[in-house]
Structure 1
Amino acid sequence: MSAERLVHILDEVPGLEGLDELTMVVALDGFLDAGSSAALAAQHLSAISDGGSVVATFDVDQFHDYRARRPAVTFQRDHYESYDAPRLVVRLLRDAGDDPYLLLHGPEPDNRWEAFCRAVREVVERLGVTRVVSVGSVPMAVPHTRPIAVTHHANDVRLISGVNPWQGELRVPSSAQALLEIRLGEWGRDALGFVAHIPHYLAQLDYPRASVILLEHVERSGRLTLDLTDLRAAADDRESEIARYLSANEEVGDIVASLERQYDSFAQAEESGSSLLAEDQPIPTGEEIGQQFEQFLAGLEDDGKDTGDEPEEDR
């Protein structure tokens, strides 16, 4: 099946004529989206541009596993209505300086990744994209009270703008975004991205603080100017919720304190160059973390329902 049958692109897109540079941000929710950081980033970008305009639509039936990720549908008394169909689209948005850029967002394809990459290539070539910037997040054994680490990656080393938290080779599960970056490099197209490290005990909650960090990197690498005011406010609200919960739950606070000690020892060892491993610092066991943070998540969810602080998703 050709790329043209997997994605429909508008024949004419006003506002893109004569551009020397055009950034496309890729934010796919699903596997590489701990704390819903990519999804929240995409929602924010769309919101500050009043939704922009859809310039390309992928045939989501070709990529989505409906049994693995079942869309919601509303049952109203005696009939079904309001089916939330998954959408994988490219929007034309404008930044705070009125400069255009594109946003590819929606559910990460569950299958046919190679076909998806070819379809994205069609979008890149037809619309004149010069730079693809992806965002994502993974759960890590880190405390939320320390700076969020970000892994930088690119298909050309000249695009890398920061130092990664570790060096060397890692074998990790792949994603559609990872394959897209590789394939774009093979096709001579620049692609780079950022992966935020989310505290594993917050991975199931919306965590806008990580979304802010990711979009700050998108600003610099994509040469955009983004208004992050509302997203920062949501991040502050979430941090306040977490702080209130920890102050009232000493056992959970002890677990976070253990992660803080481990994190600080690791950072100090790296700075001194003596060792990458923390010495003589106890780290919580998997069983301890599982038991305590099961309560942690339940407490925060209940807190959000009571206070109305839980950010709403606009999928």
Structure 2
Amino acid sequence: MFDPTDLYELAEDVPELSDPVLLYHFDGFVDAGGAGRLALGHVLAELEHRVVATFDVDRLLDYRSRRPIMTFDTDRWTDYDSPRIAVHVTEDTTGTPFLVMTGPEPDREWELFTRAVGTLAERLGVSRLVTVHGIPMAAPHTRPLGVTPHASRPELISGQSSSFGRVQVPGSVSSLIEYRLGAEGRDALGFAVHVPHYLAQAEYPHAAVAALESVTRATGLVFPMDALREAALRTNAEVEEQIQASAELLTAINGLEQQYDAFAGGAERENLIAEPVQMPTGDELAAQFERFLAERDED
């Protein structure tokens, strides 16, 4: 049997930590609005951090399925954007140490990688593992974003409800970590932020705000949020500008608002899928927003 510790390399000066939380997100799986990527990217951008472990991406990634970027300048190659899966140590605004694991989702050796994360968590004394990402939902941006919690033990998310029953979905490494390590007795949980389906392909900072707020409630970690909240306000203002300029979009959003309010008010409905009304599909709404964002970038 392969040794999972061969998949990663520890830094020489790994600190002694006291039951740190490990936040993690991998690029490649469903992440509507970039909720997980923006959330953890914001954390690393705002807080001083250093790498304590790196994984062997040559064993884990299929480069031909998602080729790294290389830079060619005139007559030679000048740069290579080497992919990296790394664990960083940092501190929240109260001085509490915690860990952040980011990078591309592994293409290969999921089971070995999951065991490697488990051994690394044991080595670093991790108390619980927490992941976040976004999922598209038929809900308007004018209403509070929903969040679906999930955990290896119900007590970790007590008092929080889910919009889902039993469903089967494509797997992910993030989910497998929670499932396998939870079965071993580790505390693992996550939060799926409900992102308006017409904004799923764009960056939606409001979803990252909801993700980090959920992490704070679950772990007590406190993050610097001002810059992220300001970005969320700007994005919502831009979205509202686009909607007000289009009678078709305004009608569609009004329809979503009515359906959301009826669902939230307890009307009998299985989920947030809309009743039959005359309005654009999610793809059509997204296409209109993409055109708007493209025109804004050109300006």
Q: Give the structure-1-normalised TM-score.
A: 0.88
- Return structure 1 stretches of 4+ with deviation > 6 angstroms: 277-280
- Say yes or no: does 1:300 pair with 2:288: no
Which residue identity is paired with 1:26?
A: Y
Alpha carbons of structure 1 residues 190 and 305: separation in structure 2 relative to 1, 3 Å: farther
> Matched residues in 1 for 2:290 and 2:167: separation?
30
AA in 1 matched with 2:40: A
Seen in structure 2, the aligned counterparts of structure 1 residues 251 and 186 have a Cα distance that, compared at 3 Å, is same
Q: Could you tell me how far apart the structure 2 residues matched to 1:2 and 1:279 are?
A: 46
1:249 to partner: Cα distance: 1.9
Change (3 A) 1:75 1:199: same
Report whether the alignment pairs 1:282 with 2:265.
Answer: no
**Deviation at 1:301?**
3.0
> Aligned equivalents of 1:156 and 1:225: distance in 2?
23
Q: State how far apart, in whole Å, the 2-side matches of 1:220 and 1:280 are.
A: 31
Aligned-pair CA distance for 1:164? 2.7
The structure 2 residue matched to 1:260, chosen from 254, 257, 261, is 257
Which blocks of at least 5 consecutive residues in structure 1 are unaligned?
Answer: 307-315
> What SS does structure 1 have at the residue aligned with 2:266?
helix
How far the C-alpha of 1:65 sits from its partner, in A, is 2.2
- Contact 1:262 1:283 (C-alpha < 8 Å) held by counterparts: no
Deviation at 1:124, TM superposition (A): 0.2
- Contact 1:24–1:129 (CA<8 Å) still a contact in 2? yes
Q: 2:27 aligns with which of 26, 29, 39?
A: 29
1:40 aligns to what? 38
Q: Quote the offset at 1:284 in angstroms.
A: 5.3
Q: Which residue identity does 1:218 align to in structure 2?
A: V
Residues in 1 aligned to 2:218 and 2:103: alpha-carbon distance in whole angstroms: 22
Distance 2:225 2:75 in 1: 43
Residue 49 of structure 1: aligned partner: 47
2:11 is matched with 10
Whichever residue aligns with residue 4 of structure 2, its letter is A
Gaps of 5+ in 2: none
CA deviation string 1:99-155 (max 9, x = no partner): 110001111122321111011012101111011111111112221111111010000
Secondary structure, counterpart of 2:176 in structure 1:
helix
How big is the shift at 1:54? 0.2
Q: Does 1:69 align with 2:72?
A: no
Number of residue-to-residue matches in the alignment: 298
1:40 counterpart letter in structure 2: L
1:1-315 aligned within 5 A: 1-16=2-17, 19=18, 21-50=19-48, 52-270=49-267, 274-276=268-270, 281-283=275-277, 288-306=281-299
- Provide the rounded CA distance (Å) in 2 between the counterparts of 1:279 and 1:117: 34
How far apart, CA to CA, are the structure 1 residues paired with 2:274 and 2:130? Answer: 40
Check the 8 A contact 1:88/1:106 in 2, yes or no: yes
Whole-angstrom distance in 2 between the partners of 1:8 and 1:120: 12
